[in-house]
Amino acid sequence: MIPFNKPHLTGKELQYIQKAVETGKISGNGKFTQLCHQFFEKQYHIQKALLTTSCTDALEMSALLLNIEVGDEIIMPSYTFVSTANAFILRGATIRFIDSKKEHPGLDENQIENLINERTKAIVVVHYAGVACNMKKIMEIADRHQVFVVEDAAQAIDNYYINEDNEKLALGSIGHLATFSFHETKNIIAGEGGLLAINYPKFVERAEIIWEKGTNRSAFFRKEVSKYNWIDIGSSFLPSEITAAFLFAQIEHLEQIQKRRLECWNYYYKNLLNWAQTLNIQLPFIPNYSTNNAHIFYLVCENQTQRDALIQHMKEKNILTVFHYLSLHKSPFFEKKHDGRPLPNSDVYSNCLVRLPLFVNLTQEQIKYIVENLHDFKN
Ligand SMILES: *Cc1c(COP(=O)(O)O)cnc(C)c1O
């Protein structure tokens, strides 16, 4: 069976974990954690990076930093992973789900402004498949209404928004806050892991405190204060050095990882274009304001019947293809809380999208075999 995903190891992970163990300090915020922070801050012009135990945790930290309270409203796409919403639901927020774009699963920025009112606290954008949302428009809307922007950049590592001056701005460096994931299904991995990017200077000091269980221990370690104390609410959001050591080995190979993923992605695109057109299947759409980090290669089928038949056809050839994200506004948890607005594009992606195997060690024979078997699918 060709799996859908296979975690890629760069070869240095165990060596770095051993190094971390030998230093005698394996709790959080040690040498490897700081190396990871420095990489993100320098490479992507993020003001302050903090490793977390998951992207879910980084999203929960965002909700704490934004002081979300019962009754506050958050705007986000319905077509996303549950954590994007859960983090804010946990603080008592009301979620206003928004539809995806017709040409892409990312949120439709033209629908944001209609939903903004005096209770709106934040817009959470999700760079689906790593593809940039229209950040210029979104930041303008946020500025106009004085609301915060959180980028759920779980899938968007090493990808860029291109502005009118043709400058590349790293995804995760644009919103007031942004969150990354290093779950084993993402481009670089730590088993479980995440990162909070803080791009709004006023949040930096408090973010460190929330990260360290509500204490100023980080400042104490830097000898800025003589003893550490309970300062604010917080939790244990920082991962151990073992996780950070593993992640740093991945970071060192990021360039090679991205290159191979992009080769696979481009091979799929080039060799599936004609076939997809004859079956009315859509290939991924990358707007001109986004680069491509090859996180997901997806197909959007004509309808659910075709999608399910395609998954079955591939399964019979020992190839695992998968769908995901059932619109959150129709989920058992949320359905009754939703305000009733139809979100038809989100439903299309829920019913018709399918993802192809995409990982570093996918061999050329395997990818050829996958494409050949898709060509044999003629419904
Ligand atoms: C993977 C993912 C998450 C959750 O990441 P974890 O690190 O597993 O918590 C959140 N949002 C999106 C869009 C994701 O793809």
Taking the CA of residue 186 as reference, the ligand 1 atom at the shortest distance is 1
Angle at 359 between CA 130 and CA 11, to 5 degrees: 110
Closest CA to 175 of 157, 191, 197, 158: 197
**Residue 126, φ and ψ in degrees, nearest 5:** -120, 120
Taking the CA of residue 192 as reference, the ligand 1 atom at the shortest distance is 7
Tens digits of residue pLDDT in 239-267: 999 999 999 999 999 999 999 999 999 99
Question: pLDDT tier at 201 (50, 70, 90 boundaries)?
Answer: very high
Question: pLDDT tier at 28 (50, 70, 90 boundaries)?
Answer: very high
Question: pLDDT tier at 9 (50, 70, 90 boundaries)?
Answer: very high
Residues in the chain: 379
pLDDT for 337: 96
Token pair of 358, please?
Answer: 């995409």
Tens digits of residue pLDDT in 49-90: 999 999 999 999 999 999 999 999 999 999 999 999 999 999
Q: Which amino acid is at 53?
A: T
Specify whether the CB–CB gap between 197 and 178 falls below 8 A.
Answer: yes
Residue identified by tokens 């817009």 is 123
Question: pLDDT tier at 379 (50, 70, 90 boundaries)?
Answer: confident
* Distance separating alpha carbons of residues 219 and 198, to the nearest angstrom: 17
Question: pLDDT tier at 287 (50, 70, 90 boundaries)?
Answer: very high
pLDDT for 139: 98
150: left (phi over 0), alpha (psi -120 to 50) or beta: beta
Q: Is the pLDDT of residue 140 over 90?
A: yes
Q: What is the DSSP string of 269-329?
A: HHHHHHHHHHHTPBPP---TTB-------EEE-SSHHHHHHHHHHHHHTTB--B-----GG
Tell whether ligand 1 has an atom less than 6 A from the beta carbon of residue 84.
yes
**Mean pLDDT for all residues in the chain:** 97
What's the gap in Å between 24 CA and the centre of ligand 1?
Answer: 31
Question: pLDDT tier at 25 (50, 70, 90 boundaries)?
Answer: very high
pLDDT for 17: 98
Question: pLDDT tier at 158 (50, 70, 90 boundaries)?
Answer: very high
pLDDT for 41: 98
Residue identified by tokens 């060690």 is 361
Please report the sign of the dihedral spanned by the C-alpha atoms of residue 18, residue 22, residue 23, residue 24: positive
pLDDT for 75: 98
Closest CA to 96 of 70, 118, 124, 69: 124
Q: Which residues of 125-136 are buried (b: 16+ CB within 10 A; e: fewer)?
A: bbbbbbbbbbbb
Mean per-residue pLDDT for 153-175? 97
Distances (CA, A) of 290 to 28, 106, 161, 342: 34, 12, 5, 28
Specify whether the CB–CB gap between 86 and 39 falls below 8 A.
Answer: no
Which of helix, strand or coil describes residue 290?
strand
Q: Which amino acid is at 171?
A: L
Closest CA to 32 of 311, 300, 332, 243: 243
Tell whether ligand 1 has an atom less than 6 A from the beta carbon of residue 154.
yes
pLDDT for 279: 97
Q: What percent of the chain has pLDDT over 90?
A: 99
Question: pLDDT tier at 333 (50, 70, 90 boundaries)?
Answer: very high
Pocket test for ligand 1, best of 56, 76, 185 (most atoms within 8 A of CB): 56
User: Looking at ligand 1, which residue's alpha carbon is closest to its atom 8?
Assistant: 183
* Distance separating alpha carbons of residues 73 and 120, to the nearest angstrom: 4
Tell whether ligand 1 has an atom less than 6 A from the beta carbon of residue 80.
yes
What's the gap in Å between 152 CA and the centre of ligand 1?
Answer: 8
Which of helix, strand or coil describes residue 40?
helix
What's the gap in Å between 193 CA and the centre of ligand 1?
Answer: 10
What's the gap in Å between 183 CA and the centre of ligand 1?
Answer: 7
